[in-house]
Chains A and B, each alone.
Chain A
C-alpha cells in the first residue's frame, strides 16, 4: 500500500480526471481508483469527500441529485468548465513534476 502523503497533493487531479468524461458518484469514483490501480491505492472515504467538498466550493465541480433505478437518491458530481481548465493546468504541472523528479533521482 502506497503512502498516501505522496498522492495527497494529487487527489483533486485524480478525481477531476475521472469525472472528465461523465458525471459520477462517490463510491463509483472510489471503485474506479481501486480497479485502475489494481488495489494498489485505495482512496479513503474521508479523503474523497474532502476533495469533492473542496472542488465544489472552488467551482470546479457541480453536484446534483440523481435517482437510481432502485429509487435511491445519490449525489452526482459533474466537472465544470473552470474544473476542466484547472485539470489541464494540473496535468501540465504533473508532466513537469514527473520530468523534474525523474531527472534528479535517476
Chain B
C-alpha cells in the first residue's frame, strides 16, 4: 500500500498545489486504495495488487486538462526545464559528485596547509632557527606551489562535474521508484552528515579555544601564539574538508530530488550570491596576492580570506531575504 501512496506522491510532485489538484489526488488515492483492498481480498499478494493498481492507473496528461493546469506548465514539465535521468546516470552522477567533493575538500585543505606552513616557517625563522630570507622563500614558495596544486585539483574536479552543472538550474525528473531510493539514501546519510558537520565545528572550536588559551596565558609568547594559529589553520583545513565532502554529497541528493536549496523555484532563479561568487572570489585572491606581494605582508594578509568568507555569507543572507520578498 505504501508503494501506491508514494507512486501517487511522485506523480503529483511537479503539479501546482491548487485545490483542484489536491482534490484529484485525494480521489485517486481513494480509488486506488479501494482497488488494492479488493484485489487483496480476492487473494492477490501485495506485489500483485500493487502492480495491477499502478499499471491500471492511467496517465497525468489526461488529468491535466480537466484540472485546469495551464498549458505552459505542462510544456515546462514535459520539455525544456526537465532532465530525465536513468538509474545508471544517477548512479554515475552520485559517484562523480562524491569524488569531486573529496577533491575540492582536498584542494581547500592544501591551500590552508600552505598558509599554515607559511606562518610556521615565519615563526621558526623569528626564533632564529632559520634565516629570515630562507624562511620567507620556503613559506611563500611553498604556498604558491600548493596553490598551484590546489588550482590544478579544482580544475580537474570542475571538468568532471561540468556536465552535471545543469542539475543546479533544471528540475530533474526520475522514475518514482528511483526517487524513493535516493530519498532513502539521503535519509541514511543524514546521521553521518550531522556527525561530520558537528565534528568540523568541534575541530574549529578546539583550535580557537587553543589559540585563545595560549594568547591569554601567554604560553610561549609570540611563538606560542603563532604555533597555535598554525594548529587552528590545520583544524580549519580538516573541518572545511569535512564540510565540503559531506555537503557535496548531501547537495547531490537534493539536486536529484529537487529538494533543499534545489527546489523547482530555486532552480528556476539563480540567486545573486551564486551569480557573483565566481568574480567575487577571484577579486579576493587578487587582493590577497597584491597586498602580500607589494607590502610583503604574507604573515597577516591571510586575514583577507576569513573576512571575505564572512562578508560573502552576509551577502548571501541579505540577497536571499531580498529575493524572498
Contact = CB atoms under 8 A, between A and B. Distances in A.
Given A31-B38, A45-B57, A47-B58, A26 B27 contact: yes
Contacts of B63: 46, 49-50
B56 interface: yes
Nearest to A27: B34
Interface in B54-76: 56-60, 62-63, 65-67
A54 B65 CA distance: 10
Contacts of A53: 24, 66-67
Contacts of B307: none
B290 to A, nearest CB: 64
Nearest to A50: B66
A60 B31 CA distance: 21
Contact of B28 (A31, A45, A74): A45
B32 interface: yes
Contact of A46 (B30, B38, B59): B59
Contacts of A44: 56-59, 62
A45 B56 contact: yes
Given A46-B60, A46-B62, A27 B35 contact: yes
B38 A47 contact: no
Contacts of A18: none
B34 A49 contact: no
Interface in B78-96: none
B59 A75 contact: no
A75 B66 contact: no
A31, A44, A48, A49: most-surrounded residue (chain B CB, <10 A): A49
A48 B30 CA distance: 12
B1 to A, nearest CB: 14
Contacts of A27: 30-31, 34-35, 38
Interface string A23-59: 0011110110000000000101111111011100000
A26 B28 CA distance: 8
Identify the interface centre among A42, A45, A54: most chain B CB within 10 Å of its CB: A45
A52 B27 CA distance: 10
A37 to B, nearest CB: 14
Given A27-B38, A31-B38, A49 B56 contact: no
B56 A42 contact: yes
Given A53-B66, A54-B66, A46 B34 contact: no
A19 to B, nearest CB: 15
A92 to B, nearest CB: 26
Contact of A74 (B30, B65, B67): B30
Contacts of B24: 49, 53
B34 A26 contact: yes
A26 B30 contact: yes
Nearest to A31: B38
B30 A75 contact: yes
A54 B62 CA distance: 12
Nearest to A73: B30
A49 B26 CA distance: 11
Contacts of B67: 53
Nearest to B60: A46
Nearest to A8: B62
Interface in B3-62: 24, 27-28, 30-32, 34-35, 38, 56-60, 62
B27 A46 contact: no
Given A44-B56, A75-B27, 18 more contacts: A25-B30, A26-B30, A28-B34, A44-B58, A44-B62, A45-B32, A45-B56, A46-B28, A46-B59, A46-B62, A48-B31, A49-B24, A49-B66, A50-B65, A50-B66, A53-B66, A74-B30, A75-B30
The 6 lowest CB-CB distance pairs between A and B, nearest first, are A46-B58, A44-B58, A27-B34, A26-B31, A50-B66, A53-B66
29 contacts: A25-B34, A26-B27, A26-B30, A26-B34, A27-B30, A27-B31, A27-B35, A27-B38, A28-B34, A30-B31, A30-B35, A44-B56, A44-B57, A45-B28, A45-B32, A45-B56, A46-B57, A46-B62, A48-B31, A49-B24, A49-B28, A49-B63, A50-B65, A50-B66, A52-B27, A53-B24, A53-B67, A54-B66, A75-B27
